[in-house]
Amino acid sequence: MKKLRTPTLEETGTLIAMTATIFGGVARLFAPLTAGFPLNDGGLFHVMILAVQNSQYRLPEYVRYNGLNIPFAYPPLGFYCGAFLSQLLHISPVEILRWLPALIATATIPAFYWLAKLFLDTPSKAGIAALIFAFLPRSMSWSTMGGGLTRSFGLLFLLLTAASVYSLFKKQERKYLFTSILFSVLTVLSHPEAAIHTIGLCILIWAFLGRNKKGILNALLVGIGTIAITAPWWITLIVRFGLAPMHAAAQTGFHSAIALLIPVIFTLTDEPMMTLIAVLGVIGFITSIHQGKYLPPAAYILPFIVEPRSAPVYAMIPLAMLASLTISDIILPFLSTPSRSFTSKFFVAYLAVYLLGSSLYFDTQFAGTSVSQANRDAFEWTKLNTPPDSRFLVLTGETDIFCDGISEWFPALTGRASLTTIQGLEWLPGKFATAAQIQRDMQNCINGSKALDCIEEKTRQAELQYEYIYIANQSAIKTMCRVVMPITRGDLLILELENSKDHTSIYRTSAVSIFSRLR
């Protein structure tokens, strides 16, 4: 019998990466499959997809959402892809927002493997890094939400751009100049934060590899090419709106000196059980510096300098590589002796079970962030039974402004204005920070005593006029946008409203209560 050939390092890395892509894809698709609705956010994007379709694929100037005319200044690629697929496949934009982000997020795994091979210079290490990246909750959560329609494209093209730019500076071949420009253009047209992080990462790669005459020339060509090809889009925005919407959006990046402490003090991986990968990443950070390999550690810190708000997502790219270094250079060499062969196999099996089990457990928690059927039924009732110009206080008790899917989807599916929804305001100068604070204050009211007095006081302070109060009293305690514990909120507020002479109940189920204000 012919003896089986031992796979090469290249083949081993590719095999691990393929396995990571298959099972990582399952992990990314499991949550939307379980939820039956887009995860967490995406209400504004639903309206933007419809706007693209209604404009016959001409770039819309404004989108009507939550009673506001919001400049269509967002990078348009994801919306055009969503609109086109919705019409081509004859499915609703809601289903596009449910499935497309997870599918694109799956494609980030092989793209990551390409970049990891370059950073780590060993296919087997890159394969292990891809396996870790595939199952890291933080690497998939924000990309698979409804709002991941743009975030997933942004992450995908960031990875492809970085790999192309690295190859361009390392090999100086013309084909990588073209791919670098292509993927840079697609990144800019996909997501604003991804574009900022791509610029930062590419500058970092240039600092390590391209500080020579040829590298400077190639860097200039990539920059000029990207600016020139995207010019029809950004010139259109400037002509229509000036720089105000872009400047307003840039103010939501949460820049502060304390942001630099986040990557070295806080757990960023969002692992729902043990923080195994976070610990491996910290050890890999130190190991990489000890080995004189400074690029991965620098790439880990960089996102918190460039744009702290979404930095944890992009920090998962180097963190997965650093965790791989710990496994490849420390743990496996120590265990890979004849006397420890069983221990080595046990560790590998344990790691595989941990990664898959942890991600699927995360998915079950993450699925709970979607808007429940009870709330969607209440949305439909609201749309049919209240005046189109109605203004609502949508109260869920959720104080994390980025994890309140009910508040974001309410205006999209009812056509009514929610005074406690902040999405879209980032494109309106001077609106976002104030609205975010109002949202937190209002949601805190439902969690305390004398909730009605709190609401009335906060609405007077903010000079808000409302006609209805929508209470999602079956809610959840969340951590990093995943459901930790279902909880009932607002019982005291509901009791106060029932006894109030100024309000009357018009809709009531076990999950949702709606009251009309009489004066």
Q: Which of 323, 318, 422, 355 is nearest to 134 (CA)?
A: 355
Encoded amino acid at 5, one letter:
R
Identify the H or E element spanning 447.
none
Structure tokens at 305: 């300098």
Contacts of 223 (CB under 8 A, 6+ apart): none
| DSSP three-state, residue 506 | strand
Backbone angles phi, psi at 468, to 5 degrees: -140, 150
Q: For 285-316, give the secondary structure using H, E and C.
A: HHHHHHCCCCHHHHHHHHHHHHCHHHHHHHHH
Q: Read off the DSSP letter of residue 7.
A: P
Residue type, position 130, single letter: A
Question: Tokens standing for 442?
Answer: 């209002």
Whole-number pLDDT of residue 182: 98
Structure tokens at 130: 């891809």
CA 90 to CA 269: how far, in whole Å?
37
What is the spatial distance between Cα 67 and Cα 60, in angstroms, rounded to a whole number?
A: 17
Residue labelled with tokens 């009309």: 516
Report which DSSP code applies to 259: G
**Three-state SS sequence of 207-236:** HHHCCCHHHHHHHHHHHHHHHHHHHHHHHH
Query: Digits of tens for pLDDT over the chain (519 positions)?
Result: 556 667 777 888 899 999 999 999 999 999 999 999 999 999 999 999 999 999 999 999 999 999 999 999 999 999 999 999 999 999 999 999 999 999 999 999 999 999 999 999 899 999 999 999 999 999 999 999 999 999 999 999 999 999 999 999 999 999 999 999 999 999 999 999 999 999 999 999 999 999 999 999 999 999 999 999 999 999 999 999 998 887 777 766 566 667 777 777 777 888 888 899 999 999 999 999 999 999 999 999 999 999 888 899 999 999 999 999 999 999 988 887 776 777 888 888 899 889 989 998 899 888 888 999 999 999 999 999 999 999 999 999 888 888 889 999 999 999 999 998 988 888 888 788 888 888 888 888 887 778 899 999 999 998 889 999 999 987 766 676 777 677 788 888 999 999 999 999 999 998 999 999 987
Which residues are paired to 45 by β-bridges? none
Residues 6+ apart with CB under 8 A from 137: 269, 270, 271, 272, 358, 359, 362, 366, 482
Q: What are the structural domains of the chain?
A: 10-366 (no CATH), 371-517 (3.40.50)
The whole-angstrom separation of Cα 397 and Cα 493 is 11
DSSP character at residue 329: I
The first and second tokens of residue 269, run together, are: 């991986």
* DSSP secondary structure letters along 141-209: HHHHSTTHHHHHHHHHHHHHHHHHHHHHHHH--HHHHHHHHHHHHHHHTT-HHHHHHHHHHHHHHHHHH
Q: Note the pLDDT of residue 111.
A: 98
Element (H, E) at 441: helix 432-446
Write down the pLDDT at residue 477: 67
* Residue 465 DSSP class: -
DSSP string, 335-389: H-SGGGHHHHHHHHHHHHHHHHHHHHHHHHHHGGGSPPHHHHHHHHHHHHHS-TT
Q: Do residues 59 and 75 touch, judged by C-beta distance below 8 A?
A: no
Q: Which amino acid is at 127?
A: G
How many Cα atoms are found within 13 Å in the side-chain-facing hemisphere of 247?
7
3-state DSSP call for residue 271? Answer: coil
Interior/surface letters 278-305, b for 16+ CB within 10 angstroms, e for the rest: bebbbbbbebbeeeebebbbbbbbbbbe
| 334: enclosing H helix or E strand | helix 332-335
pLDDT for 15: 92
DSSP 490: -
Cα angle 34-37-42, degrees, rounded to a multiple of 5: 130
For the record, the structure tokens of 75 come out as: 């990078």
pLDDT given at position 340: 73
Tokens representing residue 314 in the block: 């992009």
